[in-house]
Amino acid sequence: MAAPLIAVPDDFPSVFEGSAAHEKCKTLGETRVVTARGADEEAELIKRIGRANVAINIRAHAHFTDAVFAACPALKMVSIWGTGVDNFDLTAAGRRGLTICNTPGINAFAVAEHVIALMLAVGRRIPRLDREMREGKWPREQLVQCLGKTLGVFGTGKIGTRVIELGRALGMTVLAFSARGDAARVGSLGAKAASKEEILREADFISLNLRLAPETRGFLSRRDLALVKKSAILVNAGRGALVEREALIDALSTGKLAAAGLDVFHEEPLKADDPLLAMPNVVLSPHNAGQTPEVVRDGLLAAVRNVENYLAGRPTDVVVAPVR
C-alpha cells in the first residue's frame, strides 16, 4: 500500500499539532492537521477530510455521519482519541467498509480522580467557602464527610472500577451497577451489585460512569431523580446526555437533589445564560476530567499506534469493523 494520507480535521483546541504523536504520525504518511474551529460543521469536516485514507478524531464536536462517510470515499479508517463514539454513526461506518478504533482506559485513573475531587468539592463546599473567605467572611457551616456514606457507581468499566477503589479507600460502602449484569465481578471489586433503583434510593453520592449509547441516553429521568435522597449528591463525568437536562435542573433548583458536580453537559461549551451557572449547589468543570499531560501524551500516541497497526494489517482497539 502506498503511503496513506492522514487527516486530523478537528484539533481545536489544539493538542495534537507538534506533539510526539504528530511526529510519529508523519512517519506513517502525509499528515494534515487543522487547528482552527469549524469541524462541527458537516461541510467543513468533509472538506478537511477530503481524500484522506485515515482520519484521527480529536474532538467530539466533529460528527462523523453517514453523509461524511459518503462524501469521503477514500476514508477507510478513523482512530479516535478517547473512548466516546457518540459522535459517530457506527452502523453507517461498518456498512461503508470503515474500521473505527478508539483508545480505551488511558484516561481512566485521571477521570476517576476527578470524580472523587468533585465529590469532595461539592460535599465539603470548597469553591463556595473559598469565595466567601476572599470576600471577608468566615463561614462555619456543617460539611459532608465520605466516611460511612454510601457511594453508588453506575458503570464498572475501567473508570468505574477505579472510582469504586477510591471510594472504598475513603471508607465508603459502594453499590455498583454493571451494565452487563456481572455481579461476580462487582463483588470481586469489593462492592455490592445493586439495581438502578436500589442505588438511587440508598446512595449518598451517585457517580455516572456509563458510556453514552442509545440505551443509556436519558439514563436518569425525572422519575429516576424522584427516587434519590434529598441529601444526595450526583457526580457526572460520563456524558451530559446520560441525564435528562430539564429533570436535572428541576431537581437541583427545587431541592429534590442536594447538589451536583458536573464535568459534562448537554451542550458544550455552556452558554452564558445556562441556569447551571447560577446554581450555588453545583460545582462545574469544563469536560476536562481526563486532561493531564500524561493522559494527553499517552492517548494521542495510542491513537497513532492504532493507525500504525491498521496500516500493518493488524487493527487494534476496534469498535467497528467493515461489514462484509
Instruction: Catalytic residue, from 59, 125, 239, 244: name it.
Output: 239
Cβ atoms of 126 and 120 closer than 8 Å: yes
- Is position 114 annotated as part of the catalytic site? no
Instruction: Catalytic residue, from 268, 308, 314, 324: name it.
Output: 268
Q: Which three cell numbers stand for residue 260?
A: 451536583
Ramachandran region, residue 287 (left: φ > 0; alpha: ψ -120 to 50; beta: rest):
left
- Is position 287 annotated as part of the catalytic site? yes
Write a three-state SS string for the chain. CCCCEEEECCCCCCCCCCCHHHHHHHCCCEEEECCCCCCCCHHHHHHHHCCCCEEEECCCCCCECHHHHHHCCCCCEEEECCCCCCCECHHHHHHCCCEEECCCCCCHHHHHHHHHHHHHHHHCCHHHHHHHHHCCCCCCCCCCCCCCCEEEEECCCHHHHHHHHHHHHCCCEEEEECCCCCHHHHHHCCCEECCHHHHHHHCCEEEECCCCCCCCCCCECHHHHCCCCCCCEEEECCCHHHECHHHHHHHHHHCCCCEEEECCCCCCCCCCCCHHHHCCCEEECCCCCCCCHHHHHHHHHHHHHHHHHHHCCCCCCEEECCCC
Instruction: Catalytic residue, from 22, 59, 125, 287: name it.
Output: 287
Catalytically active residues are 239, 268, 287
